[in-house]
């Protein structure tokens, strides 16, 4: 099993920058604003001689007792309790602070080893900068630069020396689903209800979640990855730079997932923004499950209203399953997994070519493509061209003249025939090309047969 290394420190000391350096990614948002990271963020460490898991945590404020900073501190303490090793990151340019001493006293209570990493020492005398941090009483401080990579590999090679070589794990394919929706509809509450613990911060304040948090877990002997995403507001209302990057992270999470769980608020009407988010999922081709949350808080009028709104504004999601749940009370949450599994299986299905060809023949028997001008498009055979979403490639002649209405007819026909519940399906047309057909250059005229080498014009006499 891979060791888990937690990155801990006060706000704005470079934890997320180091996380991105270790995972060789840009998964963690980085900006010169204290308190940007709020939830625990896991990743696979790629810098070092052995594999490991690295955890990015929010800025540690151990003295606060309420508000969002208190929730961030609680998340950090949970990461400390779960870790096999702790890297305490301090700022070499600011020197030791009273808050660093408070954090050091708390980390001394941990049973796992603690390493002190003095960050931001590029261009400075490392030995002089590190001298002050011996006062923390946590061993020999190590100078690094997370932004430039100086000393990072050396530090983590020393850390990993104390851990055995982990056994190779099977890279089994498993569903990955993203929880998406507008701000404050209960996405993080739903994630915590699924996991059965306070894994991400659920706070009664829009915009609490900023990063896309990837969490692996097991349920009924099956592995899953759930992605908690930031709320997506209307483009005109997104003015903060951090929120703009959060929206981008959410869009990337949808494309990275196999299934998207769209969360709606039962106490509010279905907005145009809900329809836009659903439309984006449809455009990316991801399977979809819709969860109408806060069902216990809605009165009968609101329940009837939102059902009518769903039928009117989200009618294009007829392939998806809808669930009426209460994430806060845990009602209906377990039923989501049946739809997620079904949608994942439909998205990753592999259909044999003979069955697809037979399906095409049945569709053509029921309804032929309309005549375009003097030609009727001819569809000869088809095969599968991809998964997530399933793609059916149809070969034939004059397929560029097939109207959109017949295109949609074929998509619905294949989805119904193969019972693809929860996922869209794409039909692509590919025109047959005659390999013996030679293109003539523009303006070229056919050469008379008499001028060809060895050819003589025939003379016709009287009979």
Residues of each annotated binding site for GTP:
9-16, 56-60, 119-122, 181-188, 228-232
The rounded distance, in Å, linking the Cα atoms of 164 and 3 is 9
DSSP 94-108: T---HHHHHHHHHHT
- What percent of the residues of the chain are helix, what percent strand, and what percent coil, each to the nearest 5? 35, 20, 45
**Residue 256, SS3?**
helix
Q: Are 54 and 91 in contact (CB under 8 A)?
A: no
Distances (CA, A) of 158 to 43, 126, 128: 20, 18, 21
The rounded distance, in Å, linking the Cα atoms of 221 and 260 is 22
Longest dimension (CA), the chain: 122
The pair phi, psi for residue 448, each rounded to 5°, is: -60, 145
- Binding-site residue numbers are 9-16, 56-60, 119-122, 181-188, 228-232
In terms of Cβ atoms closer than 10 Å to its own Cβ (0-12, 13-18, 19+), residue 362 is exposed
Q: Are 141 and 134 in contact (CB under 8 A)?
A: yes
Beta strands 41-45 and 52-56 are: antiparallel
């Amino acid at each position: 099993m891979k060791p888990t290394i937690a990155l801990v420190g006060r706000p704005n000391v470079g934890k997320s920058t180091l996380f991105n350096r270790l995972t060789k990614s840009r998964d963690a948002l980085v900006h010169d604003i204290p308190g940007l990271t709020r939830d625990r963020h896991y990743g696979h460490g790629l810098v070092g001689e052995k594999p490991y898991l690295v955890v990015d945590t929010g800025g540690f404020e151990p003295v606060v007792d309420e508000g969002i900073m208190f929730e961030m501190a609680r998340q950090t303490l949970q990461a400390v309790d779960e870790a096999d090793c702790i890297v305490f990151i301090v700022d070499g340019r600011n020197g030791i602070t009273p808050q660093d001493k408070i954090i050091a006293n708390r980390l001394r209570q941990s049973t796992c080893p603690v390493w002190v990493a003095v960050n931001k020492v590029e261009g400075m005398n490392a030995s002089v900068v590190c001298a002050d941090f011996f006062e923390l009483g946590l061993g020999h401080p190590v100078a690094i630069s997370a932004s430039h990579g100086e000393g990072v590999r050396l530090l983590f090679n020393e850390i990993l020396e104390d851990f055995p070589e982990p056994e190779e794990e099977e890279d089994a394919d498993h569903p990955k689903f993203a929880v998406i929706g507008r701000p404050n509809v209960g996405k993080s509450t739903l994630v915590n209800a699924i996991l059965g613990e306070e894994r991400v911060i659920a706070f009664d304040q829009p915009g609490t979640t900023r990063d896309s948090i990837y969490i692996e877990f097991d349920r009924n002997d099956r592995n899953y990855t759930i992605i908690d995403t930031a709320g997506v507001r209307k483009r005109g209302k997104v003015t903060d730079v951090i929120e703009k990057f959060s929206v981008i992270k959410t869009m990337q999470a949808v494309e990275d997932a196999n299934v998207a769980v769209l969360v709606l608020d039962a106490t509010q009407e279905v907005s145009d923004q809900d329809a836009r988010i659903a439309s984006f999922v449809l455009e990316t081709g991801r399977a979809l499950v819709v969860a109408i949350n806060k069902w216990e808080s809605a009165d009968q009028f609101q329940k009837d209203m939102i059902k009518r709104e769903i039928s009117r504004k989200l009618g294009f999601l007829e392939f998806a399953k809808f669930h009426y749940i209460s994430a806060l009370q845990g009602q209906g949450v377990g039923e989501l997994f049946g739809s997620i599994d079904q949608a994942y299986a439909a998205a990753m299905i592999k259909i044999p070519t003979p069955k697809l060809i037979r399906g095409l023949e049945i569709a053509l028997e029921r309804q032929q493509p309309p005549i375009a001008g003097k030609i009727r498009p001819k569809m000869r055979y088809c095969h599968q061209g991809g998964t997530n979403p399933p793609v059916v490639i149809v070969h034939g002649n004059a397929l560029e003249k097939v109207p959109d209405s017949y295109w949609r007819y074929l998509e619905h026909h294949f989805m119904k025939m193969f019972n693809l519940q929860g996922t869209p399906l794409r039909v692509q047309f590919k025109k047959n090309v005659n390999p013996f057909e030679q293109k003539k250059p523009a303006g070229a005229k056919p050469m008379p047969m008499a001028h060809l080498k060895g050819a003589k014009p025939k003379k016709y006499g009287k009979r």
